Amino acid sequence: MHSFRNDYSEECHPLVSEALARCASEQNPGYGEDAHCERARELLREAMTGSLERSGADEGQLERARRAPIAFVPGGTMANLLVISSALRPYECVIAALDGHINVHETGAIEATGHKVITTADADGVLTAEGAEAVLAEHCYGQNHHMVIPRMLYLSFSTEMGMVHSSAQLAALRAFADEHGLLIYIDGARLAAGLASPATDVTLADILGTADAFTFGATKNGALFGEAVVFMNPIPFGNFKAAQKQRGALMAKGFLYGIQFEALFSSSGCEAGIPEAEGAEPLYFSLGRHANAMAVALKEALRRDGFDHLAADGQTNQVFVQVDEPTARLLEERFCCEPFGVTDEGERIMRFVCSWATQPEHIQELNSALKALR
């Protein structure tokens, strides 16, 4: 039976492993200073400028994208702790939604670098300007030296609960940040699924226009591992490469990132045979689109079979159902879906996740099994 536990159960997309195989006999310089990484950075910047051009961005914005430094790190927690600790002075803090990944599921990684995470009351991990404003007000707009001084907004796109911001929400966050001298960091561990969501009008250009730094997450979208950290506003983040080395995040064989991101951004999803691919978009984006489509099919299957109580409705690649305790146990055993807490009413939340690797037959198989259960 296919496991819907998460979006990092398989190694990597076949085009990524083929690329790695092709380069197997190469010798490359270490630490990300190789031609593959350089080419991968160029491909990422091309995807960025392409989106900006389609959105009618001006030359200044294009130039920022063309010059944006890009670093590769092994995983999401590392990206988060590095980006945040690089830009904050010791007494500064980061604002996140209560469910924000950095607040709950990183074993205090941000605090281990010396910084407090303060949280808004925003639901489902969707940080809003209103939520941030309330927290900033509680902290006296940074004027009370007995309290931490807010300096950065952290948000995930898509969020830990599979939700997506709208472009208007992102614009409001940017305006809020500018007004109060805050930086914005967007955790893109599931960026591809977010951008492909029919529930939002956000494009990559909106991400670029909002974030001082953001990530193209690939661990959950086709690569063995790796997140590309893009700095739209590099100055506040200092010498990021030194920071990487210091935190154990400067991979000796950095070229592995380059080869993988090249594969994800040089092939188009169409050529790669992804049915959901649009236009000539790079494989990276098509894989997110595919994962979302599988999640739609999964949701329909669950609904058809009576699991129609959804805990959040994010229209990305994650589906959360509320069930009673015995059903929760049964679903976990049979489909490896993941327990994701308990509602205030005592119902269990179970998470099903689709990915680039999920196929229609896996959904059918699930459907049949669910039928048999009922």
Residue 181 makes contact with a copy of itself by CB under 8 A: no
Q: Which residues 270-299 are close enough to bind a copy of itself by CB under 8 A?
A: none
| Measured distance CA(338)–CA(4) in Å, rounded | 8
Choose between 62 and 147: whose C-beta lies nearer to a copy of itself: 147
Choose between 225 and 270: whose C-beta lies nearer to a copy of itself: 225
Residue 115 makes contact with a copy of itself by CB under 8 A: yes
CA-based torsion, 275, 277, 296, 217: positive or negative: positive
CB of 100 to a copy of itself, least distance (A): 13
Q: Which residues 295-324 are close enough to bind a copy of itself by CB under 8 A?
A: none
The residue within the footprint of a copy of itself, chosen from 51, 61, 77, 266 (CB under 8 A), is: 77
CA dihedral 79, 80, 83, 85 (to 10 degrees): -130
Residue 199 makes contact with a copy of itself by CB under 8 A: no
Residue 25 makes contact with a copy of itself by CB under 8 A: yes
Given 3-state DSSP classes, what are the helix, strand and coil percentages for the chain, each rounded to the nearest 5? 45, 15, 40
Choose between 76 and 194: whose C-beta lies nearer to a copy of itself: 76
Radius of gyration, CA atoms only, the chain = 20
Q: Would you say 47 and 266 are in contact if contact means Cβ atoms under 8 Å apart?
A: no
CB of 147 to a copy of itself, least distance (A): 6
Residue 6 makes contact with a copy of itself by CB under 8 A: yes
Residue 85 makes contact with a copy of itself by CB under 8 A: yes
Choose between 94 and 170: whose C-beta lies nearer to a copy of itself: 94
| Measured distance CA(42)–CA(22) in Å, rounded | 20
| Measured distance CA(240)–CA(226) in Å, rounded | 16
The residue within the footprint of a copy of itself, chosen from 62, 123, 134, 147 (CB under 8 A), is: 147
Which alpha helices (DSSP H) does the chain contain, by range? 14-22, 35-54, 59-66, 76-87, 101-104, 129-138, 167-180, 191-195, 204-210, 240-246, 255-266, 283-304, 325-335, 360-373
Q: Which residues 203-262 are close enough to bind a copy of itself by CB under 8 A?
A: 219-220, 224-225, 238-239, 241-253, 256
Residue 158 makes contact with a copy of itself by CB under 8 A: no
Tokens of 55: 């959105």
Phi, psi of 369 (to 5 degrees): -65, -40
Q: Which residues 45-74 are close enough to bind a copy of itself by CB under 8 A?
A: 73-74
Residue 136 makes contact with a copy of itself by CB under 8 A: no
